[in-house]
A and B are shown apart, each in its own frame.
Chain A
Amino acid sequence: MPDDRIDLHQEGGNPDPPDPAAPAAPASGVAQKDTAQRTGPPSEPRARSSLRERFRLARSPVALIRDRFDGMAPVSRFGFLTAGVALAAVLPVLMPHITADPAYWTSVLTKVGIAALLALGLNVVVGFAGLLDLGYVAFFAVGAYTFAILSGASRYAIALTRSDPNAFKLLPTWHMYSWLFFFAALAVALVAGVILGAPTLRLRGDYLAIVTLGFGEIVRITADNLTSVTDGSQGIPQIPHPALTVGPVHYNFGLNDAAYYWLLLGVIVVWILLLRRINASRIGRAWAAIREDELAAASMGVPTIRIKLLAFAMGAAVASFAGVIYASEYAFIDPGTFQLFSSDFGSVIILAMVVLGGMGGIAGPILGAGLVIFLPERFRFLGDARFLIFGAVLVIVMVLRPQGILPSRRRAAELEGGVKDTSVFEAQQHGG
């Protein structure tokens, strides 16, 4: 950050620490070095050893598993990952055996899947490239609305609202080519990401935050008022469910949540694999460089605007994909879904998932998404009070573990080992 002011956030008066990188699989030597550093005895808390301090520094059980995981041979690591995905995949099948409300919890599971995809997408923007985006839900909305419009559902909805007696003739149906709409929505979101990003990405962090917040509101209000295209606040019902025809087999996703869950799982796995490759590539290093010191990166010849734009566009594409799946599963969208503070997928809630879970990694945002969606559903019986608790939990978790529950290795190392030394150390390790 081109800022000569000293950041008070650091007690020692250090500049903002570099946001976590997830050095997914850089040179394996570096990875092992990281691991060795982490599996050693946790550094003694310097300040004091109150319980709170220990909680702050404690590594969660999942982090322990991850440490083991990193120490494994590539083959067993692959096996382990496959087993994890397989376990996630059979969850809907196991549902009837672990709960009395399988349909409900499968539905919640799909919601978690959508949230996890969104969180992983926002993580690229916030965690990898270090850009604060408070209007991320806009791209989710763009995806959902593009799909609703292309599939003909909005035309049907407008006819309904106008009480057109022939409206039912416009009832949209699913064709094989409708799968293309998924990618059309992705393209539209990419364009939207570039349109928003190109003029605004030269702005510094917090200015970008308010501009993106504004963009999110503009998209929502436009969807609310452009009644001739989106049917406004009436919302768009009857968005067709996807169907798949392979030879003689015909399968309609219909209201079967498990099918959407598997679709999401597939998309998430592909996205994670892609992300790990990208993050280990030039682009990933460029993101890390920009995040840590934009000026230095620029002077080293990193095309900062283009690289930031890439992060923005990738985030937008992922969000639009989530939006399309959401629209086709719920079969109904309205502008209210895309509010800033909407308790499900609002921009700040997605950001909370990412930060709560731990930025910059892959497990962190997924965990964050799981908690932020699951807990309010679990405590639904508390009624209105659950948002009071949610707010308090956000504050308490952040106070106790500012790095998030499951931060990327690098961030944890930074916070455990003293900021200054580690970042210098890391910088040397990665060597530019």
Chain B
Amino acid sequence: MAVASEQQVGIRRPRIPSAAFGWGGAAALVALLLFFGIRHHVCPSNASAWVSFTITGLRLGFLYAMIALGYTMVYGVLQLLNFAHSEIFMVGSFAGLYAFKTLFGITNANHPNGIGGIYLAVVLAVGLLVAALASGGAAVIMERLAYRPLRRHGASRLAYLITAIGASLFLSNLFYLLDGHSHLGLPFNWPRIAGASPVDYPQVMKKVIVFRIAKVPIDSQTILIVAVAIAMLVVLDLFIRRTRAGKGIRAVAEDPETASLMGVNINGIVVMTFFVGGLMAGAAGLLYGMFFTQALFSMGFVPGIKAFTAAVLGGIGNVRGAVLGGILLGLIENLGVACTGTQWQSVIAFLVLVGVLMFRPTGLLGEQVGG
């Protein structure tokens, strides 16, 4: 609706031919660059390198997509750039770690090669549940303590943004200080949960090579990440489209005043949005921590910024857009460094974002929750 009304009120929006021209031009440019890159041995010329970058990109892309959902849904409902979402992701990662360690007693010492069979499925399911619930809970608490008072006072968007930044600093530094030592002159030791250095993730699932594409091994954890991500994204899409609560979220995103007149409990919907976004981020946190073998207080920063970018790329406020944006961003980032150095990863991601926004000012799919 938002998009349609923009057209009505006359914001300049390129018509389809110019967009098609732009995309075509961009594609031709990329193809040309690649051609010369491979010819001059700047880019790898063997297929397996490209396959390898693609797989890396897809894996990362699905994780970005899961985190991006939280940004996009909160934005859709509140028009709030929730900077603290990256810390919600971090909380989920730690929750999953401790679920494995304390609920199941799995450590690297007693299970150096992971576990298998039905037990593995149970452990993973419970771990994902705990991580998701912890993140969802943290997001709801944050909404209750930090954002709701602002909403009540009718604060400006910038006040929200600064609150979000404050909450982000608070959460990451809180985990930094939870290192088992005494801080702030308090007479007791803070619980030892995170701290300055990374905490090892127990190796629940061994990375075994399941199959190969063009000699590139695909390991079990990559398959797990993609499978869990797809399952959760499908469930979320159904939730938003089919259920009553999902309709509520869409209604509030579309027009909160009318929605409240129609009897939608706005506070309830806002809490629901934060909770669902937190669930996805928590699950992503566990998968991310497990794959990269550790959890750290600052681990949310880079994926957070990237997921935020992905959400905007797809059209912020748009659930399917966030998924598309996440996967695309993961791919672009990794394929992009094939011909350059990994240090340019972020530059490539942001340049692509600017390029896309030039042609489509509201992202690839426009901005509506539920599409």
Contact = CB atoms under 8 A, between A and B. Distances in A.
Given A214-B353, A399-B146, A7 B79 contact: yes
B351 interface: yes
Contacts of B227: none
Contacts of B173: 384-385, 387-388, 391
Contacts of B341: 225
B353 A211 contact: yes
A142 B354 CA distance: 20
A78 B46 CA distance: 74
A19 B157 CA distance: 10
A355 interface: yes
Interface in B330-363: 341, 343-344, 346-347, 349-351, 353-354, 357-358, 361-363
A217 interface: yes
Interface in B77-122: 77-79, 81, 83
Interface stretch (B22-30, B127-135, B160-168, B217-225): B160-168
A31 B9 CA distance: 34
B346 A203 contact: no
Contact of B184 (A19, A199, A385): A385
B65 to A, nearest CB: 17
A159 to B, nearest CB: 23
Given A2-B9, A225-B343, A399-B150, A13 B257 contact: yes
B165 A6 contact: no
Given A11-B151, A214-B350, A388-B174, A19 B357 contact: no
B47 interface: no
A4 B2 contact: yes
Given A9-B160, A11-B152, A200-B357, A210 B309 contact: yes
Nearest to B87: A391
Interface string A35-75: 00000000000010000000010000000000000000000
A8 interface: yes
A34 interface: no
Contacts of B270: 8
A16 B157 contact: yes
A58 to B, nearest CB: 14
A210 B312 contact: yes
B143 interface: no
A306 interface: no
B2 A132 contact: no
A419 interface: yes
Interface in A199-233: 199-200, 202-207, 209-211, 213-215, 217-218, 221-222, 224-225
B43 interface: no
B82 to A, nearest CB: 11
B156 A402 contact: yes
Contacts of A202: 12, 361
B162 A388 contact: no
A202 B183 CA distance: 48
B334 to A, nearest CB: 17
A303 interface: no
B351 to A, nearest CB: 7
A14 B1 CA distance: 19
Contact of A221 (B156, B174, B343): B343
Chief secondary structure at chain B's binding surface: helix
Given A5-B2, A352-B162, A395-B167, A207 B256 contact: no
Most buried by A among B9, B166, B305: B166
B154 interface: yes
A392 B78 contact: no
Contact of A206 (B79, B174, B349, B353): B79
Interface in B9-45: 9-12
Contacts of B151: 8-9, 11
A11 B256 contact: no
Contacts of B254: 5
Interface centre among B11, B162, B170, B184 (most CB of A within 10 A): B162
A200 B354 contact: yes
B346 A217 contact: yes
B256 A8 contact: yes
B138 to A, nearest CB: 14
Nearest to A219: B347
Contacts of A341: 169, 301
A17 B12 contact: no
Given A5-B255, A352-B162, A382 B184 contact: yes
A214 B162 contact: no
A236 to B, nearest CB: 19
A351 interface: yes
Q: Which 9 A-B pairs give the minimum distances between C-beta atoms?
A: A394-B166, A402-B155, A391-B169, A214-B350, A391-B170, A402-B159, A388-B173, A395-B166, A10-B154
Given A341-B301, A385-B184, 6 more contacts: A11-B153, A19-B158, A132-B161, A210-B309, A351-B162, A404-B159
Interface of B: 1-2, 5-6, 9-12, 75, 77-79, 81, 83, 145-146, 149-163, 165-171, 173-174, 176-177, 183-184, 196, 252-258, 266, 270, 301, 305, 308-309, 312, 316, 341, 343-344, 346-347, 349-351, 353-354, 357-358, 361-363
13 contacts: A19-B158, A132-B158, A214-B351, A221-B344, A221-B346, A225-B343, A295-B10, A355-B161, A385-B173, A391-B169, A391-B170, A395-B146, A395-B166
